[in-house]
Every structure is written in C-alpha cells, then in structure tokens.
C-alpha cells in the first residue's frame, strides 16, 4: 500500500471557514514536509517539521511527536488564494528520497 496517505482527496470550502488536512504514514517518519501546488504548477514549501508544530499566518502544521505516524495541516479563515493541491511528503524509502502523498485538492468558494 501507499506509504504516505493523504485525506481527504478533495475538499470544497467557503471563504472564512477552517479546515484540516491529514497525512498518515505506514511507518514512523523522521520528518514531514507540506507543499501547496498552485494553478500554474509551482510547488511551494509550506512547512518542514521534524517534530511539534509550526505556524505561519493562517496555516498551522503539527507532526505527531510520539509515534511519528501522522501530520496535520490546519487552514484557518480560508481565502480564495488558498485554493490548490496540498501535498505532504516524507522520507520513507531512506534518508535521501522523498515520497509524496497523492494530494488533497482544495477549492475555496466565495
């Protein structure tokens, strides 16, 4: 099975609402990285976590420090520009190769 599982696969929200995306791993991970891919295809790094939580504006990410088998990305007060595909990735097959989940397509509606 997939080593990096993302949920949900798609999500549609209205502006101003909050949401949470999740990334599950089939084994313990040392770190996780979250990205957003916009309509032009650019993959923008949002967070890199080895443990704990990080926050940047309306975005907050957490990495389970105990079992290290899941991570979450919270979006507060969603805006239209938050639309895109969100990917999480982790080093599953070794320290030198990043494995990506299949992504969550997020659509923010007015």
Partner 1 sequence: ETAVFQTPNYHVTQVGNEVSFNCKQTLGHDTMYWYKQDSKKLLKIMFSYNNKQLIVNETVPRRFSPQSSDKAHLNLRIKSVEPEDSAVYLCASSWGHNYAEQFFGPGTRLTVL
Applying CB under 8 A, among 26, 27, 42, 109 the residue interacting with partner 1 is 42
Segment 83 to 102, residues that bind partner 1, using CB under 8 A: 85, 87, 89, 91, 95-100, 102
Should residue 3 be labelled a site residue for partner 1 when binding is judged by CB under 8 A? Answer: no
Does position 35 interact with partner 1 (CB under 8 A)? The reply is yes
Spatial CB neighbours of 61, under 8 Å, sequence gap ≥ 6 = 32, 34, 46, 47, 49, 53, 54, 55, 71, 72, 73, 74
Sign for the CA dihedral angle at 41, 84, 24, 57 comes to positive
Cα R_g (the chain), whole angstroms: 13
Q: Give the nearer residue to partner 1 in terms of CB position, either 14 or 97.
A: 97
Q: Does 41 bind partner 1 (CB under 8 A)?
A: yes
Is the CB of residue 63 less than 8 Å from the CB of residue 74? no
Under the rule (CB under 8 A), what is the footprint of partner 1?
Answer: 30-31, 33, 35, 37, 40-45, 48, 50, 85, 87, 89, 91, 95-100, 102-103
């Amino acid at each position: 099975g997939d080593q990096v599982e993302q949920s949900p696969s798609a999500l549609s929200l209205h502006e101003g609402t909050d949401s949470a995306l999740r990334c599950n791993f089939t084994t313990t991970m040392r770190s996780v990285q979250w990205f957003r891919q916009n309509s032009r295809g650019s993959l923008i790094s949002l967070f890199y976590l080895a443990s704990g939580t990080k926050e940047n504006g309306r975005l907050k990410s957490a990495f389970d420090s105990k079992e290290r088998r899941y991570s979450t990305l919270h979006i507060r007060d969603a805006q239209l520009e938050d639309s895109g595909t969100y990917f999480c990735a982790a080093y599953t097959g070794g320290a030198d190769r990043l494995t990506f989940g299949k992504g969550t397509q997020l659509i923010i509606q007015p």
